Amino acid sequence: MKHVLVVCLGNICRSPIGEGLIRHHAGIAGLSLQVDSAGTSGLHAHEPPDIRSQEVMLQHKLDIGNQRSRQLTTHDLNRFDVILVMDHENLKEAQALGNGDADIELFVTGQNVPDPYYGGEQGFKQVYEMLDRAAAEWVSSWSRSQHANT
């Protein structure tokens, strides 16, 4: 089973959406994944996702209200197979924790996902759309890889 960690700054806006969408697309594909999320900052530790993240997911009938924020740790670099980060700053911070077995990649290949925290509802919709497309692509890739190995 593949273990996937989704990372942003505070683990209350982007990464909870990403975690929820990876789970959703894996469920559709029948792919068994262990999925979690974390933030490079521990500022919001143990908090639920931002209400605006929850709302944009609920508009698509996906509930992420049970998630709780936590900080990225050195242990995560070996516990997960893949760490998907939201932007180049998250990438640098994750890599600065040290070396591990995890592949650390941008969630949206070649692009930063903007942090919608200080913006309005439209920013959360934009993030949802970006992450939904990318999550579907990641899950499809992992599914093809799994089928090729069986």
Catalytic residue among 36, 50, 76, 115: 115
Q: Which has more pLDDT, 120 or 57?
A: 57
Q: pLDDT band at 149, cuts 50/70/90?
A: low
Active site residue 13: no
Active site residue 81: no
Domains in the chain (CATH in brackets) are: 42-145 (3.40.50.2300)
| Residue 90: pLDDT over 70 | yes
| pLDDT of the residue at 147 | 64
Q: pLDDT band at 26, cuts 50/70/90?
A: very high
E strands in 27-72: 33-39
Q: pLDDT band at 145, cuts 50/70/90?
A: confident
Catalytic residue among 13, 14, 23, 52: 14
Active site residue 14: yes
